[in-house]
Copies of this chain bind each other. A is one copy, B any other.
């Protein structure tokens, strides 16, 4: 007997028929001899519908009231799921965040789980019931309803898996699992059987929006086995696990791209302590999130005294960022402010990258072969990202996918 957490996203419970479908799936898991806890998101579109109502009433809606409002979405889902199960003759009980013992901090709209007391869930499981828990929500010390931010139901699922020492946390979604790259762009994209948390983290942050990043971190810190799979297919998906030795044999495991960023460059700012901080504090004060940051020595004659400073921001914040920098140009001492919203970011990810020289070289040469020029490069332990011209994005993804042999399951690319 295993203890299983099953999390179903909004698109998997978008209609009553789909709810009945996932109810059947949970019951089948229980009938196979398992203890089953189900975590649900709001029915697809419901959270947006509620937020739209709020925005019609208030330009800057209070986050505590927003939480009271949107938390109803998951509450409706779990009640309907429970009713569907009961109509199928199954014993089940629904729980709101606070009833499932999910305690959070006070940050409405983006609360963090502080503790989980799963005593009630344990009791229900012991009675042979399926427990269905409203994802995305908890309660703070005051007794106020909080929400965990977009994608928070994944976090709820992983947190319950930890608290209940579950054998596996199944994340059901509308894709088959984690692919080596976006199948819409590259028809050789292949579903991976396994991926390490670290690789998944890099993929999440790069836009493979299958799982919320905080939930992967949480899974990593507590060694929760996560199985990402399709809600309406019996096929196995992708297991997210601790790094395994054979993973390192394949230096690159996935290729991702993002078209939702823009680049800004401050030309010839003084190369002295505090400059970077001054630039970024202007941006962060406006609550704009910076992704890549690169500082290059200026190649001019006064080398060593001046530098070029570049960073990327979400495309939607581009115009505002440009304005902020222009307003501060004098103060920052930049000779010019350059902007480019015609970019794409292409990344390769793989835990094996650490031990393999030549990965970056292969990446750059594969791109060069296609005539793709590199604007910015940034690397982490298990990731290399390049900013390129937007029109080359799909071509670059396919070229890299081929270059690293990701389409062939058993023949990873050989690298020096």
Contacts and interface: CB of A to CB of B under 8 A. Distances in A.
Interface residues of A, number: 38
A93 B64 contact: yes
B144 A99 contact: yes
A87 interface: yes
Nearest to A54: B83
A62 interface: yes
B83 A78 contact: no
A233 interface: no
Contacts of A274: none
Nearest to A82: B65
26 contacts: A16-B57, A50-B76, A54-B79, A54-B83, A57-B83, A57-B84, A58-B84, A58-B87, A61-B86, A62-B86, A64-B93, A64-B94, A65-B79, A65-B86, A65-B93, A65-B94, A66-B79, A66-B83, A68-B94, A68-B96, A69-B75, A69-B80, A69-B83, A71-B75, A96-B145, A120-B143
A407 to B, nearest CB: 43
Contacts of A98: 143
Nearest to A69: B79
Interface of A: 16, 19-20, 50, 53-54, 56-59, 61-62, 64-66, 68-69, 71-72, 75-76, 78-80, 82-84, 86-87, 93-94, 96, 98-99, 120, 143-145
